[in-house]
């Protein structure tokens, strides 16, 4: 059985480099903005998903996961826990390989559904904290 640490490592190093960041807008004061910048520094393509569909960090934004016209590897979720389960279900529907719930985002039922669909899932963690910890 995989540990959470194994899953974190696999998502960050093996799953793929296209990350849809749900909740990412051009608001520099929001955590999603800074985390997306870190992901880009580590070679990830960051696709903003936000109702405003703003361009952020040079990447065109989309209003929903379903509107993204190319494959997404990881869906990074920056919405509150009450909304996160629906986002996880959308991630399954678009064929993503993994779902990442940010710090403070917790939905055990969504984790069970997502894993049952064959996706990797991490909850209540931050990739911007985890990625620098990876062995070089």
- In tens, the pLDDT along 72-125 reads 999 999 999 999 999 999 999 999 999 999 999 999 999 999 999 999 999 999
Contact in structure between 96 and 20 (CB atoms under 8 Å): yes
Per-residue model confidence (pLDDT) at position 135: 78
SS3 21: strand
pTM of the model: 0.96
6 vs 21: CA distance, rounded Å: 22
Per-residue model confidence (pLDDT) at position 1: 62
Q: Which of 46, 23, 1, 6 is closest to 130 using CA atoms?
A: 6
Per-residue model confidence (pLDDT) at position 61: 98
Query: SS in 3 state form for 2-65?
Result: CCHHHHHHHHHHCCCCEEEEECCCCCCCCHHHHHHHHHHHCCCEEEEECCCCCCECCECCECCH
Per-residue model confidence (pLDDT) at position 110: 97
The angle subtended at Cα 93 by Cα 114 and Cα 38, nearest 5°, is 70
Q: Which of 33, 76, 77 is closest to 58 using CA atoms?
A: 33
What band does 136 get if pLDDT is binned at 50, 70 and 90? Answer: low
Average pLDDT on 54-75 reads: 97
* Residue count of the chain: 136
79 vs 87: CA distance, rounded Å: 9
How high does pLDDT run on average in the chain? 95
What tokens were used for 126?
């931050």
Per-residue model confidence (pLDDT) at position 71: 98
């Amino acid at each position: 059985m995989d540990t959470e640490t194994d899953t974190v490592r696999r998502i960050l190093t093996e799953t793929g480099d296209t990350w849809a960041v749900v909740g990412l807008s051009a608001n520099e004061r929001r955590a999603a903005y800074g985390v997306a910048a870190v992901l880009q520094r580590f070679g990830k393509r960051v696709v903003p998903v936000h109702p405003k569909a703003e361009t952020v960090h040079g990447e065109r934004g989309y209003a929903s996961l379903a509107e993204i016209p190319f494959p997404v590897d990881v869906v990074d979720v920056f919405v509150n826990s009450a909304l996160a389960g629906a986002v996880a279900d959308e991630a399954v529907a678009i064929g993503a390989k993994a779902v990442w719930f940010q710090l403070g985002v917790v939905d055990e039922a969504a984790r069970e559904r997502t894993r049952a669909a064959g996706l990797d899932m991490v909850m209540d963690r931050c990739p911007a904290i985890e990625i620098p910890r990876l062995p070089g």
